[in-house]
Amino acid sequence: MPPYPAPTPLPAPDTARHSVLANSRRAADLVNALSRESCTLDTVAGVLRAYGESEPLGLTEADLPELREAAARLHTVFTADGIDTAAGRLNTLLAERTGPLRLTSHGGASPWHPHVDTDDDAPWARWFLTSSCLALAVLLWERGHAPGGVCASTACQDVFVPLGSGRERRRYCSRRCATRERVAAHRRAKAGPGGDAADSSAGSPGSAPNDPR
């Protein structure tokens, strides 16, 4: 996998960070970060801060193994090959890992929003898994297809939320990957049959993750 780039911070207002789409994209970014062997506590903290989590985060090295396990479970939802498979995997996670639906404002520190973990002080891994399941389930319900995808670039294995502001499905996790594939296809076309086209993994100017084209 390529090195994990920092996600683009969410804009104001604060309610934006509790939206279904924002939570789904946060889930994808955390899954990608935690899937890398190079992932550190600082990497995870950086993603959480970019999505509006307030200090002090209270993350410790002891949280990483369970966060990685949660990421592995969520990865199966993003890689589902259709809505039925995605729904089945989400149903399993919802049944095994989540609690009753409740609303919380974290003592007035945030807008009211839903949680399906046990309480506001649940461990990070439990919060990550349950909040991601809830967001991805609602996204599947609203959009009518699988909520995740895997980047179509041959040089990338990242998962992402294949949706823009509308209902259009997207194939790439970022403009960087889309540009790389267009350049590679152009070079192959110029080389012709049997030609020696340039390596499709050649780099190109990047952009923030989950800005798929």
Residue type, 80: A
Q: Which residue has the higher pLDDT, 208 or 134?
A: 134
Non-local CB neighbours of 12 within 8 Å, separated by 6+ positions: none
Place of tokens 């207002």: 13
pLDDT digits (tens, 9 = 90+) for 37-96: 999 999 999 999 999 988 899 999 999 999 999 999 999 999 999 999 999 999 999 999
Q: Which residues pair with 169 in a beta bridge?
A: 163
Cα torsion at 109, 114, 115, 120 (round to 10°)? 20
Maximum C-alpha span of the chain: 65
Query: How far are the Cα atoms of 27, 67, 111, 124 from residue 130, in angstroms, in the given order?
Result: 10, 12, 18, 10
First to last CA, the chain: 19
pLDDT digits (tens, 9 = 90+) for 180-199: 877 766 677 777 676 554 44
**Residue 170 in tokens:** 């997207």
**Residue 120 in tokens:** 């506001």
15 alpha-carbon distance from chain centroid = 19
Prediction pTM value: 0.78
Tell me, what's the pLDDT at 13? 44
How would residue 213 be classed by pLDDT, with cut points 50, 70 and 90?
very low
Whether the Cβ atoms of residue 161 and residue 139 lie closer than 8 Å to each other = yes
* Distance between CA atoms of residues 38 and 28, nearest Å: 17
Non-local CB neighbours of 158 within 8 Å, separated by 6+ positions: 1, 28, 32, 150, 151, 173, 174, 209
pLDDT digits (tens, 9 = 90+) for 133-163: 999 999 999 999 999 999 999 889 899 998 7
pLDDT digits (tens, 9 = 90+) for 13-35: 444 567 899 999 999 999 999 99
Tell whether the model's pLDDT for residue 204 goes beyond 70: no
Q: How many residues does the chain have?
A: 213
Tell me, what's the pLDDT at 122? 87
